[in-house]
Structure formats: structure tokens, C-alpha cells
A and B are shown apart, each in its own frame.
Chain A
Amino acid sequence: MDRPARIKLPLPQEEFMYSGHTACPGCGAALAMRYVFKALGPNTMVVIPPSCAGTIAGAFPFSSVKIPILRISFETAAISASGIRAALDVLGKKDIHVLAWAGDGGTLDIGIQALSASAERNDNIIYVCYDNEAYMNTGIQRSSATPAGAWTTTTPVPFTKDTPKKDIVRIMAAHKIPYIATASVGFPPDLVKKVQKAKEVVGTRFLLVFSPCPTGWRYSSEMTIRIARLATDAGIFPLYEVENGDQYLLNRRGWKAESLKEYLSLQGRYRSLKEQDIDKVKERVTKEWEYLLRLAE
């Protein structure tokens, strides 16, 4: 077989996380951290609230991350990043990137007030929400990012979540911040490119990173990447960017209905969905896409 003369890796080689961290096998959130930290490099500080990421970051005296971390209280990811940013600017260290790293619960629920405020002030921070669609660290309780029809411990069958996923991208776009992007661990080079793009922008930058969770979504750990890619193929998690709140850039225009069925069937949390529920999902995806396509014109 024809072997290439030198290994060319699909992403920058240097790691900013250490092995030995305590993420579940197959964890999408750990991948999100790995990719984003890679893209940002060593001149970065990150604030992390209680979350899977907080646990993955380690317990005293061990850190699994190569950049400085401040462990902060749950609601304060955005304002803590803003506070560090303000201090670094006053101290003359304007070239250090300040990153807020929170899960969907810490962003869409308890952290949304502080996030909205930082975005309204257009504070010069990068906010990454890794989305595993529930409060996973505390044992799979529903968040406002949990999709309709999903099982969680606080939305048990037959009372699975009946409201759709809160659209945080639309909320952030309403703040007219300079750069927003959706990304997924299923498409790491795209994610890395978006982070590198965000690095060059001044102001509040928001990234939503789709991070499948084998433990909470009830699938076998080796399927994380497959499920992430299916979500985008199925139109459930579109990849797009929003600049200045109104310029929409769709990274991909189509979606496949066949992928939707496979996506849902691979996950135990959707086991209670009936044919009519899946049709409703399809309807919602269609509607969302019509809206996105209109915005992208």
C-alpha cells in the first residue's frame, strides 16, 4: 500500500490537555475541550463553572489542562471571563485570550443572565458552550437545551421533555455580537477553523459546540463521532456562522431525512418516540431550515 512519506495530522499537533482526565469513555465534551484549547494555544486563560468540564479539569492537586483555569461558581462563566479580561487589559496583557467554558445548563439556564450582559457590553471574550443537551455532571437532568422527546432523569417516560430546545444562537444573534458559530465534535477541522477565526475578532464571540454524551444519550461509547455527524446530516444541528447578528453563513445547505431516523434510533434517550413524534421532529427541522435559509439570503 502506498504510505505517505511523513505523517500529516488533520489538526495542529500540540495538545493543551493531558491524558488521565476522568471523562467517561467516548466523551464528546472532552473532545470539545481538546479541540478548542488546541485552536486557542497557550496564551489563553479559561474560566470553568461546575460541569462535566469542571470535573474533567481535575481535582486538587491535579489539572488535566495545560492553560490556567479559574474554577468559578455556576452562574458566572460569562462575567468571570469579563472580569479577567478587564483586569488583564488594565494590567497591559491584552494579547491573552480569555475563554469562558460552560455546558448547556450553565449557559442556557443558570448562566444566561450573565452571558446576556457580557454580550450586551460586547466584552472581549470567547464564550464556548459545549452542548451535551442536559445537566450531565449531576446525573442527566434536563436543561433547556434538552430536545423535545428526550428522556432525562427529570423528564422520565412518559413525561419526556415536551418543549423544544432553546435556541441560544438566535438569542445571541439578537445581541448583535460580532461572531457566533455552531460547531460539532463530529467535524473537528471545521471547529478548529471557527475558533481560529474567532481568535481574530474583537468583542464577544460565542460558539455552540455539539458534544454527544454516551452516558446521558444512552448509546455505546464508540458512536460519539458518528452520532455527531448524523445530527448535522439530519439537519438537527446545522453548522453555520452569524456575523454581527444578521449576516448568516451556512456552512452546509442540505439535510437528509434518512439520517434523522438513524440519528434518533441510535440513542436510548429517544426510545419512547413514536412514528408521529418523529414526524413532528421532521416538521420542526424543516421549519428551522426554512427560517435559516431565509436569513442566509
Chain B
Amino acid sequence: MKKVISGNQAVSQAVLAAKAQVIAAYPITPQSSIVEMLASFCASGELPAKFINVESEHSAMAACIAAASVGARTFTATSSQGLALMHEMLHYASGLRFPIVMANVNRAMGSPFNLKADLSDSLSQRDTGWLQFYCESGQEVFDTIIQAFKISEQVLLPVMVNLEGFILSHTYEIVDIPEQDRVDAFLPPPAERPILDVEDPSMMGATTDLYINFRYKMHQAMEEAKAVCQKVDEEFRTIFGRGYDLLQTYRCAGADIILVTAGTIAATCRVVADRLAAQGLQVGVSKIKLFRPFPQEQLRRALAEAKKIAVIDRDFSPGCGGILAQELKSALLGSNPDISVHEFVAGLGGKDVTDDHIAWIVEEVMKAREPEGIKWIGLLE
């Protein structure tokens, strides 16, 4: 059934449809309406889950981990400071190999204090062993959360689904919410996995000098996860008639310049690409949907013929540069020797990234013979 709902509401509707069993909740702008809606689903009995009102995000993740340890399907949501506060627990969740799904509403990391869209919060958690997806529409948010439960329960790694604060979380779009029986057909109850069991007691998370071997197993799982994500997306397409791929390419074949980005900026890029095509300039757009594991093969294939790339980062790693740019450059190393990668940082702290900005980016890159360092968009004079 088609509804006009916000990105946050799409998250809550998906968690309801996925029949999460334990939900840990702590409010933080711009995520709070997710947990509020889930609270009302639980209160009305529509969602027969246990709803734990925790006292901090660190505890929210601890609660999810503990719930997962006995086999429950579990969910929480957060943003920036909350995500950072639970950093330690993110490692715990992936190291214990528990399937947990979390929605992260991307928001700038303080200080200075800012409540608006910025991908630095989740991108700076890229080493924690979580899979990461980035969404650009309410429909994609809903669908990705449903897929996330299935993926996490197959690869036995936790999955983070990201949506930009306010730009996506608080804007209303048409979202098709499928009938429950179709969701049930796609997302069965989780398969058996190691859990705490009084009939067969063991200690999970014990101290070990064989640590490197367990990390290797996690590495193997991450490698296999790419194929699992692909397969789950295909299954989704079969049942629901729509899919997303790990990397979405638009007008990339034969493009003079390809814009690479994540999140809602990609939508603006496509609008600009269409406009410039009418003027005879071939602009392609490559949207990174799956960021962890990094879709190296897909990216190399998409950019195999490209000459110029502009990476637009709504994030920034001080002392290094845009994070998407770094990941892309290291993925491309050794593949396409003719490519030049131009780096742009835009939209930090929710600053609007407009079609004019994108058009300017294209102009700059077409002008430049080689990359001229990181260019920042939207600064004061």
C-alpha cells in the first residue's frame, strides 16, 4: 500500500514489517521519531516486541548485543553523537558475529554543535566490522532495512542503514509498504546460529590469543557478504519488483565525467546530468549504496572507461580528505591508469548541495587538466 511518509517513518514501518523482537531506544535528533513510532507500535500491540528505554546509546547497543546472544531479532537507531558513544559496542557486536540492524540518521559530529546531515558520523565507523548501506529515498530506506535483516542473519555481521538527517529523515515521499505476507515470504525467521543455551552451556566472547584467526573469519564473512547482498537484492527484486544493486550507475557508459557520491546528493547529480546531457555533455553518476564491504569490483567495472571522476563527499576526515574519495582511490589503484580523481567536500553540517553546486563541480573538473587538491563547496568568502 502506498503511503506518504517520512524517511524516519519508513524505518519504523520496515522494523514493524520485519517483526523485530527486541528494540532498544534512546532519543537523539534527528532520529527520535523512529523510536517514538516504534514505541507506539509496541504499546498498541501491533509489534509484539520488548521495547527497552535505555539511558544512553552505549547501553542501546549493549542491549541489542545481549538480546542477539539468545537469538532475538533486534534493532536500534541513532545519530552522530549517539553512534560515536556506542563505538566500543559496535566492535563488540561485529566481533561476536551477531545479526543486529541499526538505522543511523546521518548527522554532523560536534563540536561545533550541528544537528543536520553529514555522513562523517557513520563513515568514521567504517572500521568496526559493520556492513553499511546509504539510502537516498524513503522507499530505499524501507526496502534496505528489510533486506538488512535478511543479510545480517545470513552473514552473521551487524548492518547499519544510513539516511541523511532532515533531508531524508524528515521529508515526506511516497513509499510502497508491501503486504505482510510478501515480507514474510522474503524474510523468514532467522536460521539457527550459536547462541547462549542452558542445555549446552558455553562462554561467548572469551579471552583468546587466537584473536587474529577470528578476525580472519570476519574478513572472510565480509568478502562473502558482497555476494550475499547481491543475491538478497535479487530475491527482493523477484518478490517486490524493485532492487538497488550495490553500486548504482546512471549514464556512465561513455561519460566524459562521472560523479561518485553517496546518499541524496546522488539524486541531485542525476538531475544535473540530465540537464547537461541536453547541452551535449555526457555526465555519469555512480552512487555508492553499499559502502562496507566496499564494492571494489563493481566500482572498477563502472569506472573502467572513465577519464575524469569527481567524488563528492558529504563527510570529511581531518588530515586526510573526503572518506569516499580515499576509499575510491585505494579501490582504483592499479586498475585504470588514465583516470583522474577530483575531490570535493560539500554539504557538511547539512549545508544544502544544489544543482548549481553540482554544475559548478562538473565545470571545474572539465576545466582542470589534473586534480587540484580537495575543493570545498559553500564556504564563506
Interface residues, chain A, with chain B CB atoms under 8 Å away: 42-45, 47, 54-55, 57-61, 63, 65-73, 75-76, 79-84, 86-91, 93, 96, 113-114, 116-117, 120-121
Number of A-B contacts (CB under 8 A): 145
Enumerate 8 A-B pairs (CB-CB under 8 Å) in ascending A order.
Answer: A54-B207, A66-B201, A70-B69, A70-B203, A72-B62, A82-B63, A86-B63, A87-B68
- The docked-state distance in angstroms from the alpha carbon of A89 to that of B49 is 10
Q: Which residues of B contact A65 (CB under 8 A)?
A: 201, 203
Interface contact A83-B62, CB-CB below 8 Å: yes
* Chief secondary structure at chain A's binding surface: mixed
Partner pick for B55 among A42, A45, A69, A116, CB 8 A cutoff: A116
Given contacts A65-B201, A67-B198, 5 further A-B contacts (CB under 8 A): A75-B62, A76-B59, A90-B21, A117-B55, A120-B55
Distance (whole angstroms) from the CB of B59 to the closest CB of chain A: 4
Known contacts A47-B66, A80-B65: A70-B204 contact under CB 8 Å: yes
Give the residue name and chain of the A residue nearest to B51 (CB).
Answer: A86
3 nearest A-B residue pairs (beta carbon): A83-B66, A71-B205, A117-B55
The B190-210 residues at the A interface (CB cut-off 8 A) are: 196-198, 201-210
**Closest Cβ–Cβ distance, residue A140 to chain B (whole Å):** 20
Q: Which residues of A contact B210 (CB under 8 A)?
A: 60
A74: nearest residue on chain B (CB-CB)? B88
Q: Which of the listed residues B48, B62, B68, B207 has the most CB atoms from chain A within 10 Å of its own CB? A: B62
Asked whether B70 lies within 8 Å of A87 as measured between CB atoms, the reply is yes
Q: Is B205 in contact with A86, judged by CB distance below 8 angstroms?
A: no
| B: contact size bracket | 35 or more
Using A45-B196, A68-B196 as known contacts, say yes or no to A79 and B62 having CB atoms under 8 A apart: yes
List the B side residues contacting A63 at CB < 8 Å.
201-203, 206
The answer to whether B67 and A84 touch across the interface, beta carbons within 8 angstroms, is yes
Q: Is the CB of A71 within 8 A of B203?
A: yes
CA gap between A114 and B22 in the complex, in Å? 18
B197 touches A68 (CB 8 A): yes
- B244 vs chain A, min Cβ distance (A): 31
Chain B: CB-nearest residue to A65: B203
Report B-chain residues with C-beta under 8 Å of the C-beta of A89: 50
In the assembled complex, the CB of A192 is this many whole angstroms from the nearest CB of chain B, namely 20
CB-contact partner of A70 in B54, B72, B205, B208, under 8 A:
B205
Q: Would you call B64 an interface residue if the criterion is a C-beta within 8 Å of the partner chain's C-beta atoms?
A: yes
A57 to B202, CA, bound (A): 11
A67 (CB) vs chain B CBs: closest residue: B201
**A87 close to B67 (CB less than 8 A):** yes
Closest to A120 in B: B55
A44, A72, A89: residue with the most chain B Cβ atoms closer than 10 Å: A72
Partner of B66, one of A60, A81, A91: A81
B:169-202 near A, CB below 8 Å: 196-198, 201-202
A292 to B298, CA, bound (A): 70
A68-B202 in contact (CB<8A)? yes
Q: Does B21 contact A91, Cβ atoms closer than 8 Å?
A: yes
CA distance A96 to B62 in the complex (A): 20
Cross-chain contact of B69 among A60, A84, A90 (Cβ < 8 A):
A84
The answer to whether B129 has its CB under 8 Å from any CB of chain A is: no
A63 to B203, CA, bound (A): 6
Interface positions of B from 6 to 21, Cβ below 8 Å from A: 21
Residues of B contacting A45 with CB < 8 Å? 70, 196, 198
User: How many whole Å from A18's CB to the nearest CB in chain B?
Assistant: 11
Q: Which of B63, B196, B204 contacts A79 (CB 8 A)?
A: B63
Q: Chain B 295-337 against A: per-residue CB contact (8 Å), 1 yes, 0 no?
A: 0000000000000000000000000000000000000000000
B52 interface contact, C-beta 8 A = yes
Assuming the contacts A63-B203, A70-B69, A72-B66, asked whether A90 and B49 have C-beta atoms less than 8 A apart, the reply is: yes
Q: Using A59-B207, A69-B203, A83-B65 as known contacts, say yes or no to A90 and B198 having CB atoms under 8 A apart.
A: no
- Cβ contact within 8 Å between B198 and A42: yes
